[in-house]
Amino acid sequence: MCVTAVESRPAGLLGGASQGPVHRPFGARVKAFVALTKPRIIELLLITTVPVMFLAQQGVPDLKLVLLTCIGGYLSAGGANALNMYIDRDIDALMDRTSQRPLVTGMVSPRECLAFGITLAVVSTLLFGLTVNWLSAWLSLGALLFYVVVYTMILKRRTSQNIVWGGIAGCLPVLIGWSSVTDSMSWAPIILFLVMFFWTPPHYWPLSMKVKEDYARVGVPMLPVIASNKVVARQIVIYSWVMVAVSLLLTPLGYTGWFYTVVALAAGGFWLWEAHGLQNRAKAEVTGVKLKEMRLFHWSITYVSILFVAVAVDPFLR
């Protein structure tokens, strides 16, 4: 079955030696290597990194430091994403939503992808260590290894809790943003780390609900693959309530003021409205497009952007 599915893909699949040469113009190759880094995902990681630097500084941080942290963060996350694609190239070839990734189309060879990912990992760690500080460097390297080894290699294909614990890698940029300014840790970044930890499952599970046939086809046990929509929606609601509650801890602990509190309450309230709406539709056994699971997925990205902008703005209004 797997062989048939792979052969149904375009020429060049996984290097495509048996399907003839792949035309690989320079411009397309450059775009392919950029695509290996998953830029849209990295944008979200930087959105959670830079505002924390403002919070740590209680004002505008050194702009050179911000630039170096962003470059280092992009290279580190890009290396992790490239190595993720190298490891997952077999299932990427069988999933509709990943069928145009560079390794699947043959625009980049597996060997090139592996070398590219390792190079970005080394360069980003050295960049952080030599220009920012070594605490940020080790946190960055830890995030990369956690995503590649713990999530991609160990959890993803073995447990429905894959995204819960694997999501820790995506929470670490919050700590990196704080440490890049202070070269230390505090409760503020830990609270925001926990916000992102509880945000990740209800962010990703709606997307998994949408493409669960893809995951089922390749044997990846995302929660929506092995559980009903009712169960998934209930878990989404639970994580959502905890996330909103944790997000409100910054103010009583003295790290933020009225502006952040108002934004966190408003954005969190709308999140909970959407989460409960999804749960109600799931309870009513609504399926297909009427389930509207992607509404929460799209709002989750807006939510985290709004919340962290409030983190950055709040110090100027206190």
Please, where are the H alpha helices in the chain?
A: 2-7, 26-36, 39-57, 63-87, 89-92, 102-105, 110-127, 134-145, 162-166, 168-182, 187-210, 212-218, 223-226, 229-247, 258-283, 293-313
Tell me, what amino acid is at 177?
Answer: G
Sign of torsion, CA 134 140 142 144? negative
Please answer whether residues 251 and 259 qualify as being in contact, where contact means their C-beta atoms are separated by less than 8 angstroms.
Answer: no
pTM: 0.90
Distance CA 104, CA 15 (A): 7
Q: What is the pLDDT of residue 22?
A: 62
User: How deeply is 206 buried, as exposed, middle or buried, from its count of CB atoms within 10 A (0-12, 13-18, 19+)?
Assistant: buried
Q: Where are the domains of the chain?
A: 32-172, 186-317
Kindly list the averaged pLDDT for each block of 10 residues, start to end, along the chain of length 318: 34 41 81 94 91 97 97 97 97 93 95 98 98 98 97 96 95 97 97 98 96 94 96 98 98 96 98 97 93 95 97 95
User: How deeply is 276 buried, as exposed, middle or buried, from its count of CB atoms within 10 A (0-12, 13-18, 19+)?
Assistant: middle
State the helix-helix crossing angle for 187-210 and 229-247, rounded to 10 degrees. 160
Which CATH architecture best describes the domain 186-317? Up-down Bundle (1.20)
Please answer whether residues 36 and 78 qualify as being in contact, where contact means their C-beta atoms are separated by less than 8 angstroms.
Answer: yes
Distance CA 147, CA 10 (A): 29
Which CATH architecture best describes the domain 32-172? Orthogonal Bundle (1.10)
Please answer whether residues 178 and 185 qualify as being in contact, where contact means their C-beta atoms are separated by less than 8 angstroms.
Answer: yes
User: How deeply is 142 buried, as exposed, middle or buried, from its count of CB atoms within 10 A (0-12, 13-18, 19+)?
Assistant: middle
Neighbouring residues of 260: CB distance < 8 A, sequence distance ≥ 6: 250, 251, 310, 311, 313, 314
Q: What is the pLDDT of residue 204?
A: 96
Q: What is the pLDDT of residue 3?
A: 32
Distance CA 82, CA 104 (A): 13
